[in-house]
Structure 1
Amino acid sequence: MPVIVSLPIADRLISYRFYRDGLGFEAIGDLADDGLPEPLQFVLDGGVRLMLIPTGGFGWVIGGREVAKPGTSECLFSLAAENSVAVDQKVERARTAGAEIVSEPQSQPWGYSGVFADPDGHIWQISS
């Protein structure tokens, strides 16, 4: 049984392109009228998937609770890279796809990492 992490998004096409081109994730599922998989899901690794849900639908899924405003972060998504060169490459790929760089790749006490926000403000860390 896969673990599915769901995030609210403002625009399906922008988010699809970001996660496909910026992070290299593979989308799965049947295509909807807009040419994108519905639901919009990406395989991350093994049994983990990422599902992107338009903000209005996300609010409905979580029982009418308020969806956090862009820039509000209660979760940090972390991806491992083989080494510092791979961290640099992955952060640059995300930047090219539209990421906002939160922290340029640099040495940290725990390793080498860079942090960026996706088009909806969700925070991702790449580290080695």
Structure 2
Amino acid sequence: MPGSPVIVSLPIADRSTSHRFYSAALGLATVGEPAADGIPEPLQFAVNDGLRLMLVPSGGFGWVIGDHEVADRGRSECVLGLTVQSPAEVHRIVEQAQSAGARIVTPPAAQPWGYAGTFADPDGHLWLVTAA
């Protein structure tokens, strides 16, 4: 297991929309061979050497979660976090995400615990970008 990446799976509404968003907003590269639609199946992105993000259409998410319900759009059970080097980098990533279709939830600003901004991806999943 030490060599295996951790995979975070999230339900999505549309593969093409999510593929475009994560490529443009965070500059993530896909993992795997393209399917007939030109997008890898399953749709996975390499976040870093130890972490992958897998995006699963909501209708197919049930095979993983069994009798649990997929959270309604806009209801978050987790917040995904990115740590960057500076407040300027927080602004850059949040603005880049917004340009790619994100909704800004909390504009980048100084908080009592650090400098951060939060955005929601096209499916409502929250990303918190914090300066180290």
TM range (shorter): over 0.9
Query: Quick check: 1:68 aligned with 2:109?
Result: no
Pairwise CA RMSD:
0.8
- TM-score normalised by length of structure 1: 0.97
- TM-score normalised by length of structure 2: 0.94
1:27 equivalent in structure 2 = 30
Deviations 1:87-113 (A, max 9, x none): 000000000000010000000112110
SS at match of 1:121: coil
Structure 1: gaps of 5 or more residues: none
SS at match of 2:7: strand
Paired residue type of 1:86:
E
Structure 2: gaps of 5 or more residues: none
Deviation of residue 123 (structure 1)? 0.3
For 1:31 and 1:46, how far apart are their aligned partners in 2? 21
Pick from 71, 87, 92: which aligns with 1:89? 92
The percentage of counterpart residues that share the same residue type is 57
2:56 equivalent in structure 1 = 53
Runs of 4+ in 1 over 6 A off after TM superposition: none
For 1:65 and 1:35, how far apart are their aligned partners in 2? 31
Query: Quick check: 1:38 aligned with 2:41?
Result: yes
2:112 equivalent in structure 1 = 109
Deviation of residue 64 (structure 1)? 4.1
For 2:66 and 2:78, how far apart are their aligned partners in 1? 20
Aligned length: 128
Query: Quick check: 1:16 aligned with 2:19?
Result: yes
